[in-house]
Amino acid sequence: MRSSESVRKKLGQFPHVPLSLLPTPLYRMDGMSAMHDGFDLYVKRDDQTGLAFGGNKARKLDYMMADVVSQGADCVVTWGGLQSNWCRQVAAAAAKLGMRTSLALFEGPTSIEGYDGNLLLDSLFDADIRVFEAGDIGNMLELASVRHVIEPIASELRSEGMTPYIAPIGGSLVEGSMRGPWGALGYVGAAIEIADQSNELKVQFDSVVLATGSAGTQAGLLAGARLLLPDTRVVGISVYGSSATVSGYVRAIGDRVLEEMGAADKLQDRDIIVIDDYIGEGYGVFNSQVGDAIRTLARSEGLLLDPVYTGKAMVGMVDLMHKGYFREGENILFLHTGGTPALFPYREQITDGLLPPVVR
């Protein structure tokens, strides 16, 4: 195990631009802990990273946008779902740095009409927004599945005299314009914060639970945990892909991060925990369990989850506690990865039949 200072020093050697507000708070969830006797539940508030309503993507963009600058690019091209948190924060980061953003947004069967949530924010950041039907694109996490859309956009920008940077979704897979797992480095930084904050609180976390989609957050955090928190499990609750698929991305990205950090070892099978039991009917598809989780956290902690990522991760964490996956007495840290703007376009599903009539 390395010291926080040595890992911090190594991480500091990588170029980055300070887009996120760090460190984020970490504290005990007293209400939730009281509701689940036998567990001490904590939250790491990465919804408060500051950039465009916050979220985990800000840490990634600290490193990825430095690569954009170093390559002399003046435009970022990326993609995601219609309510993509990633695209929202990319657009904000580019706007802050005086760059243009082109977003390819894919509309699925549960799309929501009109400019709302993240789509509204994308427009406020003056992103070039292009909407496509998801159709049969397959695995949206890989550039190969969307190349037929992304390459024409990049070619169009080049014909206008611009220098586009093709940013993989999540900013951690080594593809497009990226030559390293730069986004995931941000979550080595998060591991440093957790190690420092756990020492301040005099609490050793047995498990960290998070929503995992494009895998960069889990991979970076897991690599950081290998260096600093070897006794802490990192449990990913998948919101998009199968356990096998997401685990493959976690391994590929995590091993590259460890290599960049100068570590000789690689991730082992036992390190990579991805649970795909809580995806429900699909990515971004709302269900009543998610609604219950959102309302419970709001009313017990004053904490807002989102319906796509953290809501499903909280459903998974609580269910796993009930099933005995976590040992009684464990200290469990929930990583809140943001996504709050998505609450608004899902308002009807969240409040369906629950709101009293307005009294005038």
Active site residues: 84
Distance (Å, rounded) from C-alpha 247 to C-alpha 207?
Answer: 17
186: tokens are 């941000």
Q: What whole-number distance in Å separates Cα of residue 36 and Cα of residue 33?
A: 5
Tell me whether the omega of the peptide bond preceding residue 341 falls within 30 degrees of 0, making it cis. Answer: no
Contact predicate 29/303, CB 8 Å: yes
- Which residues in 150-168 are b (16+ Cβ under 10 Å) and which e? beebbeebeeeebebbbbb
Distance between CA atoms of 73 and 50, rounded to whole angstroms? 24
10 Å CB burial of residue 10 (0-12, 13-18, 19+) is: middle
Please give the single-letter amino acid code of residue 317.
M
Pairwise CA distance, residues 54 & 58, whole Å: 7
Pairing of strands 26-28, 207-212: unpaired
Say how far apart CA 165 and CA 171 lie, in whole Å. 11
DSSP states along 65-130: HHHHHHTT-SEEEEEEETT-HHHHHHHHHHHHTT-EEEEEEEE-TT---SS-HHHHHHHHTT-EEE
